Amino acid sequence: MKILVAVKRVIDYNVKVRVKADQSDVDLSNVKMALNPFCEIAVEEAVRLKEKGTAEEVVVVSIGPKACQEQIRTALALGADRGIHIETDTMPDSLAVAKLLHKVVDEEQPQLVILGKQAIDSDNNQTGQMLSALTDMPQGTFASEVQVDGDKVNVTREVDGGLQTIELTLPAIVTTDLRLNEPRYASLPNIMKAKRKPLDVKTPESLGVELGSKVSVLKVEAPAERSAGVKVADIAELVDKLKNEAKVL
Amino acid sequence: MSILVIAEHDNKELNPATLKTLTAAQAMGDDIHVLVAGEGCAAVADQVAKAAGVAKVLCADHAAYGHQLAENISALVVSLAKDYSHVVAPATTTGKNFMPRVAVLLDVAQVSDIISVESADTFRRPIYAGNAIATVKSDESIKVITVRATAFDAVAAEGGSASVDALDAVFESDKVRYVAEQVAASERPDLSSARVVISGGRGMQNGENFALLEKVADKLGAAIGASRAAVDAGFVPNDMQVGQTGKIVAPELYIAVGISGAIQHLAGMKDSKVIVAINKDEEAPIFQVADYGLVADLFDALPELENALS
Ligand SMILES: Cc1cc2nc3c(=O)[nH]c(=O)nc-3n(C[C@H](O)[C@H](O)[C@H](O)COP(=O)(O)OP(=O)(O)OC[C@H]3O[C@@H](n4cnc5c(N)ncnc54)[C@H](O)[C@@H]3O)c2cc1C
Ligand SMILES: Nc1ncnc2c1ncn2[C@@H]1O[C@H](COP(=O)(O)O)[C@@H](O)[C@H]1O
């Protein structure tokens, strides 16, 4: 089968982002960018399914500015076969991304689409569910285990109460949670090889999708800082402070 | 126009996140209807009908809704949505699962995980693991919103007397089937709503050592949480993870033990009223947000704390 993986270029998870002085947005100039960690897990899962012989081809798609091609190359270095870049100057919202991915799904006809559960910049957690509704493919979100079996896939999901397992009829959509796998590192030879793998560039116009969002950002502020408190010498002092100063015991 | 709130429950009891979501909904408008979709969920509908400020309860009781499968719940919600200005649900794993489907089927953008309601169309929400707070305005005809429950107080659970209308519309996808559930049974308070939370990280070294936390938790009536590192290492189950991509908690007292304080962990607990950190590394970033920091080996400190609380 063919697997489509959607990957997003985001700020590196180790970077603590700062807000611009004019409060228009966060400041991403000169900030290290990377593959969204949940997307890395998505790529890894697809590559493992290929290595097991379950999948024949892994196609990655990313939407956004030209620089997204770096993240597509990273995914190719991790073992994906071919990339699609849908180029736009700005990063579209989850609704627009889902509509664009819907077009790609129509063209590519994958049996499985794997996305991250959440992009760590917007923290939206929407796109996979939206794509599922648009394509009428069933969804297994927040997956910690994926087992393909004939025309079905069993997905174990991380939910508030513990774990839930559901069975989906393929073609289906899966979104990844942290425990699904531990992504590999790309080897140098694979990074070199990735440079020669095919990468197709498309535009939203060529796919017939209009961008633009009816949700506008009015302001981006820094959160209220917590002031660092005090160090206590021992447990006795801690318990005393909690009882008599903070009054939480 | 009216506001539709989707109740979170387990077919027996209403999840307290719903009462908090109702507070957020009341800031958007005043004619509030609540949908209870489930299987054998009549008692939940009666419970919701008593909540303050609820005008009407819609109860869809059918096997198709028993496990809150997103395909079925979202189709039901979409069938009702055109009569409402807002569709609102708690940002639990259930709400996160079906609400984006509702949004896209209505062809509107969703606003996720709001922490305040500025007006009927303007909301604040954390982005970048809570390192920035965005104020966003939605011009969509129907506003689809998930609510970070810890950011709102609960409405009174008693005092209301809403009518309960039964819905018999059944939406059932044949492409998805519930197989099984592994629910962690616990006598402890629910992590998301506990008054006190004590969490362990990689410093706990293994799952058995969480017994040290449990003994303290017993004294405090606390829920137990964990960092991602502790969950990934298999010390404790996934539903205990606190953080950006786990559970959000905001208890009166949060005690972080053997947790370094990565931004992803802080994102899930830094709105706690009082934060205590116990860590043997005095440079650990957790101390930057802790009201009370104790530099100590947790294997000495936890038994001492248990004793001091006896
Ligand atoms: C996409 C993504 C999402 C993430 N989501 C989350 C999330 O939701 N929640 C989350 O928690 N993390 C999350 N993380 C992981 C996060 O970045 C950190 O890796 C994680 O929080 C570290 O866990 P820790 O503090 O337990 O471990 P460590 O960083 O290894 O810290 C262990 C601490 O224990 C202390 N210690 C060790 N031994 C002792 C002792 N005997 N006594 C006292 N102190 C001791 C050490 O000094 C150290 O500070 C996420 C990461 C990514 C990339
Ligand atoms: N611009 C994008 N390009 C490709 N995939 C995306 C993009 N935005 C979101 N996604 C996918 O959707 C997932 C969830 O993102 P979100 O719903 O925005 O939190 C990500 O992990 C990606 O798999």
**Whether B222 contacts B272, CB under 8 Å:** no
Buried b (16+ CB within 10 A) or exposed e, B78-117: bebbeebbbbbbbbbbbbbbbbbbbbbbbebbbbbbbbbb
E strands in chain B: 2-6, 32-38, 54-61, 84-90, 110-114, 116-119, 122-127, 132-138, 143-147, 163-167, 176-183, 196-200, 223-226, 253-257, 274-279, 292-295
Considering only CB atoms, B127 lies closest to which of A123, A133, A231, namely: A123
**Geometric angle at alpha carbon B211, from B207 and B215, rounded to 5°:** 155
Query: Do A249 and B239 lie within an 8 Å CB cutoff?
Result: no
The pLDDT, as a whole number, for residue B185 is 80
Tokens of B170: 């059944």
**What is the rounded distance in angstroms from the CA atom of residue B171 to the CA atom of residue B217?**
43
Give chain A positions within 8 Å (CB) of B132: 17, 19, 26, 220-223
What's the average model confidence in pLDDT over A139-162?
97
CATH, domain range B196-309: 3.40.50.1220
**Whether B149 contacts B20, CB under 8 Å:** yes
Reported as a pLDDT band with limits 50, 70 and 90, residue B268 is: very high
**Whether B163 contacts B49, CB under 8 Å:** yes
Chain B, 231 to 250: residues with Cβ < 8 Å from chain A are: 231-232, 237-239, 244-245, 247
Query: Do B276 and A164 lie within an 8 Å CB cutoff?
Result: no
| CA distances in angstroms from B89 to A153, B112, B147, B233, listed in the order given | 28, 10, 6, 32
- ipTM of the prediction greater than 0.95, yes or no: yes
- Class of the CATH domain delimited by B2-167: alpha beta
Considering only CB atoms, B293 lies closest to which of A134, A231, A248, namely: A231
The pLDDT, as a whole number, for residue A149 is 96
From the CA of A39, the nearest ligand is 2
Evaluate if residue A75 carries a pLDDT over 90.
Answer: yes
**Whether B230 contacts B204, CB under 8 Å:** yes
| Of B177, B167, B181, B2, the residue nearest B72 (C-alpha) | B177
- Sole residue written with tokens 């079925």: B72
Give chain B positions within 8 Å (CB) of A17: 128, 131-132
Q: Where are the domains of chain B?
A: 2-167, 196-309
What's the average model confidence in pLDDT over A134-145?
98
**Whether B3 contacts B88, CB under 8 Å:** yes
The pLDDT, as a whole number, for residue A202 is 98
Domains of chain A: 2-245 (3.40.50.620)
Percent of chain B with pLDDT over 70: 100
Give chain B positions within 8 Å (CB) of A158: 93, 238-239
CA B138 to chain centre: 23
Q: Where are the alpha helices (DSSP H) in chain A?
A: 37-51, 68-77, 94-108, 127-135, 188-194, 204-207, 235-244
Least Cα separation, residue A182 to chain B (angstroms):
10
- DSSP characters over A204-243: HHHHT-----SEEEEEEEPPPPPPP-EEESSHHHHHHHHH
Reported as a pLDDT band with limits 50, 70 and 90, residue A227 is: confident
**Whether B171 contacts B41, CB under 8 Å:** no
pTM here is 0.98
What does the mean pLDDT of chain B come to? 97
Q: Report the pocket of ligand 1 as residue ranges, CB < 6 Å.
A: A 13, 37, 120; B 201-203, 227-230, 241-246, 258-260, 262, 264-265, 268, 279-281, 284, 297-299
